[in-house]
């Protein structure tokens, strides 16, 4: 059996909006480094492939396209790239994947940021890209007006953004730094490359100010729900997060992604597709459902999510993940309902269960995030 | 009267010829281990903060990438956040450009860094306008030169409004009542450079605002620092020049309602240590020659002459032709060329120096670019540093070692204990935040300072 790939998505006190009121929750610690260090260390204890660190450009909102005035949910968060950098030196195997909002950020800044995260973590960096269609987030920068109708275009722009970031990672050849005392030259400038990207949305000259990162190309990931997002992951990503509700959804989703890969001429490129699941886990299914029920009643309604929701035992989750694997997924990205409870259920319940079934690693088998996904260090596109 | 306490910062060796990469001791300036070594040395020695410079485009000369100095550096915010994990008290200062960033994102990153370091973030505000650097950014190089300080002021004022948009008591997180917060973070800013509004997403950080640093010697730079910075970097190497600068800048604070202690003056300082004075002088001479190779000497010459002098003999006399006056087309991405406001006059000064001291081109360059301020035995250097501070030529120093990453070790082990013996440098951190290390008052809030006046001046 091919082992599953497992990721955990870290979002505040958890993915249930009422999770901060759970007995174990630490809502006042959300802005301390130690809180994030605890989560990532726990994920690493469970031998998980990676954590994603959720982020948005603006403040959280319960409404998809505008701010809200709710006072009963977690509001406020720290920059995901900096959280990632802060926890990287405290861990040694797990991949660390912060979120980047492509719509309002500079690819030049993020390219060196993720390259540096790769240095700081010695080869464990990735970046998860997303777009922002919220007009109120555009107003935070004041350079453009954006509405939800712009989404297809913003995903195209995200593809250009990733292309620039990737070219910048390659803009230094691995042996560009020569330190040749005889000629006094620190670098061989023939091994530094202008990227000269010119697209519909922007142009970037390069080269990067940061040498090629340890992995060469850190992993690029995106969450995708529909056509133009599937196109982005097919064109630009190493890793896709998708949201089947039922096992029967998996096959058509994969077919669409593979179709887009072919259309983009990337049919041969490895693209790992993980299914997202919101999880509430306990030793008994009843306890898990009770916990979720308590949070739902505080929310005032049943939780709804873009992703499948599972309240049950680690064994039930293992069954689902193996079924999805059978249908073609490479693994899952789990969204803990209440992180201070459900993350440990993943690492100490689900993981041993999968290991017993021979479906998950018993030890980290590689030192880099690419290595955990079986990806080689890629050749540099600019190397002769 | 008690002796003034010295403030010390450590500048991670940068991408210019001060950094000697050809030395056998020189290590990586990219690998994180180098930063860890450097930061831990600074923290072991109880320094106030570590400092990172930044440049957003690789420098070019004669139309090609400049290859004689260290080239390349990691991302400032990312390194500082990672260093917060391996240090406990050391301040973490980064240079961030106000032209190729937006106030919202910079404020978000500094507020995050301040949370993640438990109150140790500092920001060196720089502004550039060049289209050359702008080619790396989707927003381009849009800023006219005369709007440089206007943008910097408006940028800083905007970030202050963002930092201050949370008072610090919004998060209630009452599990019983279900009240998480009392909404805050609203802002609206409309100025020449910015038209932004919304809600800032980061709760007030331990320092409220990061410590603000400013490097700049011009009239505008001094005024900018006096209006809003917490510390200013300078290059005044002599006691007299330092005293004049100190008096001038401290004298400007009152009109902004600030007291002299509210702005620390910290010149950049290089140093060379030896067991004897003679040994230190000999080492210093050796380092200067490492820093200015024959090829580097020609490049420096071209930066002033603003023309291709690749055929010039570095061991011969200075060129007889005059510099090309006007926009510097030879060197790009280098702030120092802007200092040559009257290149012909500077060239004539160099010629007079060469004649008086019988110097070759390379020797002139060594002489005029030499930045070794403190040379001697550890005892002598400690004495000189102390004298400088007690004589009100500065409040401390930003030390610039020439070797990565071990260039601070000897200073930490030999000079710092002597400063401590003299009673002018801390033996333990007394506070936890950088603001406390620097003896600064808690950050003001928009409600208690008249930002409008500070920015309009």
Domain regions of chain A by residue span: 5-372
CA distance B408 to B412: 6
User: CB A119 to CB B67 under 8 A?
Assistant: no
Query: How much is the pLDDT for A277?
Result: 98
Angle at A160 between CA A159 and CA A165, to 5 degrees: 100
B334 lies in some domain: yes
Among A119, A165, A10, A49, which residue's Cα sits nearest to residue B83?
A: A119
Per-residue pLDDT of B338-375, as tens digits, reads 667 889 999 999 999 999 999 999 999 998 887 668 99
Residue B242 lies in a domain: yes
CA distance B229 to B214: 6
Chain B residue closest to A78 (CA)? B112
CA distance A90 to chain B (A): 7
- Per DSSP, A218 falls in state -
* Domain membership of residue B204 as a residue range: 7-274+377-456
- Distance of residue A181 Cα from the nearest chain B Cα, in angstroms: 6
pTM of the predicted protein model: 0.96
As for how many domains chain B has, the answer is 2
Report yes or no on B152 lying in a domain: yes
Last residue of a domain, which of B309, B341, B369?
B369
Facing residue for B108 by CB, picked from A75, A79, A136: A79
Q: Are residues B139 and B105 in the same domain?
A: yes
pLDDT greater than 90 at residue B272:
yes
Q: Do A71 and B179 touch (CB under 8 A)?
A: yes
pLDDT at B451: 40
- Within-domain flag for B212: yes
Considering CB atoms only, which of A59, A60, A116 is closest to B74? A116
Task: Choose from A23, A78, A161, A205 for mutation: most chain B CBs within 10 A.
Answer: A78
Instruction: Say how far apart CA B126 and CA A346 lie, in whole Å.
Output: 46
* B340 and B414 housed in the same domain: no
B53-82 mean pLDDT: 95
Tell me: do B188 and B133 sit in the same domain: yes
Compute the nearest-CA separation of B95 from chain A (Å): 13
Could you tell me if B363 and B416 lie in one domain?
Answer: no
Residue A124's pLDDT is 98
Residues B99 and B243 both lie in one domain:
yes
Chain B residues in contact with A186 (beta carbon < 8 A): 21, 67-71
Is the pLDDT score of B450 beyond 50?
Answer: no
- Smallest Cα–Cα separation from B437: which of B157, B275, B240, B230? B230
H or E stretch at B92: strand B91-97
Rg from Cα positions in chain A: 21
Helices and strands counted in chain A (H then E): 12, 13
Shared domain check, B252 and B293:
no
Instruction: Tell me whether A60 touches chain B (CB under 8 Å).
Output: yes
- Whether B1 is covered by a domain: the verdict is no
Q: Residue B452 pLDDT > 50, yes or no?
A: no
Task: Tell whether B190 and B63 lie within a shared domain.
Answer: yes
**What ipTM does the predicted assembly reach?**
0.98
Number of cross-chain residue pairs from A and B with Cβ atoms under 8 Å apart: 223
C-alpha A212/C-alpha A218 separation (Å) is 10
Q: Please check whether residues B191 and B221 belong to one and the same domain.
A: yes
**Which stretches of B98-230 are DSSP H helices?**
103-116, 131-134, 148-163, 219-228
Q: Does domain A5-372 have CATH number 3.20.20.140?
A: no
Question: Is A126 near chain B, with CB under 8 Å?
Answer: no
B29 contact residues in A (CB cutoff 8 A): none
Percent of chain A with pLDDT over 90: 97
pLDDT of residue B145: 77
Q: Tell me the three state secondary structure of residue B295.
A: helix
A193's tokens: 């490359």
The token pair at A75 is 């509001």
| Same domain assignment for residues B270 and B291 | no
Instruction: Please identify among residues 117-156 of chain B the ones whose CB lies closer than 8 Å to any CB of chain A.
Output: 117-118, 135-139
Shared domain check, B255 and B290: no
Q: What pLDDT does B371 receive?
A: 67
Q: Tell me how far the alpha carbon of residue A138 is from its chain's centroid.
A: 23
Pick from A78, A186, A205: CB nearest B21: A186
Cβ-defined contact of A71 to B31 (cutoff 8 Å): no
pLDDT for the residue A64: 85
**What's the mean pLDDT when you consider all of chain A?**
97
pLDDT tens readout for residues A66-92: 899 999 999 999 999 999 999 999 999
Closest chain A C-alpha to B17 CA, distance in angstroms: 11
Distance in Å, alpha carbon of B386 to nearest chain A alpha carbon: 36
CB contact under 8 A, A119 and B74: yes
Q: Does A383 touch chain B (CB under 8 A)?
A: no
Helix (H) / strand (E) containing A177: strand A177-180
Which residue on chain B is closest to A13 by alpha carbon?
A: B173
List helix spans (H) across B263-415. 277-291, 294-305, 343-357, 361-369, 378-390, 409-410
**Which of B351, B369, B387 delimits the end of a domain?**
B369
Distance from CA of A8 to the nearest CA of B (A): 21
* Closest residue to B75, CB basis, from A37, A83, A112: A112
- Chain A's closest residue to B195, CA to CA, is A142
Bridge partner list, B174:
B179
Residues in B touching A56 (Cβ below 8 Å): 201
Residue from A134, A136, A58 nearest B202 by CA: A58
Give B-chain residues touching A77 at CB under 8 angstroms. 201-202
CA angle in degrees (0–180, nearest 5) for A70-A76-A77: 145
Q: Which helix (H) or strand (E) holds B198?
A: strand B195-199
Last residue of some domain: B322, B337, B369? B369
The count of C-alpha atoms lying within 13 angstroms of the C-alpha of B173, restricted to the half-sphere facing its C-beta, is 18
């Amino acid at each position: 059996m091919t082992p599953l790939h497992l990721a955990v998505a870290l979002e505040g006190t958890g993915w249930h909006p009422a999770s901060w009121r759970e007995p174990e929750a630490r809502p006042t610690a959300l802005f301390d480094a130690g809180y994030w260090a605890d989560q990532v260390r726990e994920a690493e204890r469970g031998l998980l492939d990676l954590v994603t660190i959720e982020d948005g450009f603006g403040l959280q909102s319960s409404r998809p396209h505008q701010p809200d005035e709710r006072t009963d949910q977690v509001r406020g968060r720290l920059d995901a790239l900096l959280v990632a950098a802060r926890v990287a030196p405290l861990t040694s195997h797990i991949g660390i994947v912060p979120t980047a909002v492509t719509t309002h950020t500079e690819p030049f800044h993020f390219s060196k940021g993720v390259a540096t995260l790769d240095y700081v973590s010695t080869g464990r960096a990735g970046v998860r890209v997303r777009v922002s269609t919220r007009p109120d987030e555009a107003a935070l920068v004041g350079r453009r007006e954006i509405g939800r109708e712009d989404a297809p275009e913003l995903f195209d722009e995200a593809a250009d953004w990733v292309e620039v970031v990737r070219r910048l990672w390659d803009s230094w050849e691995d042996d560009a730094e020569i330190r040749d005392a005889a000629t006094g030259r620190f670098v061989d400038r023939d091994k530094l490359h202008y990227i000269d990207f010119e697209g519909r949305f922007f142009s970037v000259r390069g080269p990067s100010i940061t040498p090629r990162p340890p992995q060469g190309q850190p992993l690029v990931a995106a969450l995708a729900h529909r056509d133009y997002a599937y196109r982005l992951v097919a064109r630009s990503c190493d890793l896709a997060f998708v949201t089947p509700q039922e096992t029967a959804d998996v096959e058509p989703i994969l077919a669409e992604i593979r179709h887009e890969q072919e259309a983009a001429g990337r049919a041969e490129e490895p693209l790992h597709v993980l299914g997202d699941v919101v999880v509430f886990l306990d030793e008994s299914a009843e306890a898990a459902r009770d916990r979720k029920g308590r949070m739902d009643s505080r929310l005032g309604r049943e939780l709804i999510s873009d992703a499948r929701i599972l309240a049950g035992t680690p064994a039930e989750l293992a069954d689902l993940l193996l079924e999805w694997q059978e249908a073609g997924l490479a693994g899952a990205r789990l969204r803990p309902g209440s992180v201070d409870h459900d993350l440990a259920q993943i690492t100490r319940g689900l993981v041993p269960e999968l290991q017993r079934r021979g479906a998950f690693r018993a030890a980290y088998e590689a030192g880099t995030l690419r290595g955990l996904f079986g990806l080689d260090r890629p050749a540099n596109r600019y190397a002769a | 009267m008690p002796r003034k306490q010295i403030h010390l910062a450590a500048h991670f060796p940068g991408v210019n010829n001060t950094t000697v990469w050809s030395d056998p001791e020189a290590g990586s300036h990219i690998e994180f281990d180098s930063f860890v070594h450097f930061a831990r040395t600074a923290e072991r020695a109880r320094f106030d903060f570590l400092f990172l410079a930044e440049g957003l485009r690789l420098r070019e000369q004669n139309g090609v990438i400049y290859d004689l100095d260290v080239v390349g550096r990691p991302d400032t915010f990312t390194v500082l956040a990672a260093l917060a994990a391996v240090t406990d008290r050391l301040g973490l200062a980064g240079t961030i450009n106000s032209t190729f960033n937006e106030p919202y994102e910079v404020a978000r990153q500094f507020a995050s860094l301040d949370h993640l370091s438990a109150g140790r973030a500092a920001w060196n505000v720089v502004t550039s306008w060049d289209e050359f650097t702008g080619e790396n950014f989707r927003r381009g190089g849009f800023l006219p030169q005369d709007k440089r300080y206007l943008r910097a002021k408006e940028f800083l004022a905007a970030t202050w409004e963002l930092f201050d948009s949370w008072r610090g008591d919004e998060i209630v997180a009452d599990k019983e009542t279900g009240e998480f917060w009392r909404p805050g973070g609203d802002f609206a800013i409309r100025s020449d450079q910015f038209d932004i509004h919304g809600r800032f997403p980061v709760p007030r950080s331990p320092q409220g605002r990061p410590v603000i640093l400013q490097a700049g010697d011009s009239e505008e730079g001094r005024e900018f620092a006096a209006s809003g910075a917490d510390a200013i970097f300078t290059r005044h190497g002599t006691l007299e020049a330092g005293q004049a600068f100190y008096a001038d800048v401290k004298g400007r604070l009152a009109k902004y309602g600030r007291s002299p202690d509210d702005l620390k003056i910290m010149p950049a300082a290089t140093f060379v240590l030896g067991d004897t004075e003679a040994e230190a002088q000999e080492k210093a001479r050796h380092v200067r020659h490492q820093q200015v190779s024959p090829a580097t000497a020609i490049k420096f010459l071209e930066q002033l002459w603003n023309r291709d002098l690749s055929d010039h003999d570095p061991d011969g006399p200075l060129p007889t032709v005059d510099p090309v006056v006007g926009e510097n087309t030879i060197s790009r991405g280098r702030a120092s060329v802007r200092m040559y406001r009257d290149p012909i006059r500077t060239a004539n000064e160099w010629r007079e120096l060469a004649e008086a001291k019988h110097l070759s081109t390379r020797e002139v360059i060594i002489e005029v670019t030499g930045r070794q301020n403190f040379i001697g035995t550890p005892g002598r250097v400690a004495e000189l540093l102390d004298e400088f501070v007690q004589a009100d030529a500065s409040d401390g120093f930003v030390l610039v070692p020439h070797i990565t990453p071990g260039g601070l070790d000897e200073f930490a082990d030999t000079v710092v204990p002597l400063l401590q013996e003299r009673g002018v440098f801390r033996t333990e951190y007394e506070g936890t935040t950088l603001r406390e290390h620097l003896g600064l008052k808690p950050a003001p809030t928009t409600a208690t300072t008249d930002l409008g006046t500070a920015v309009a001046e």
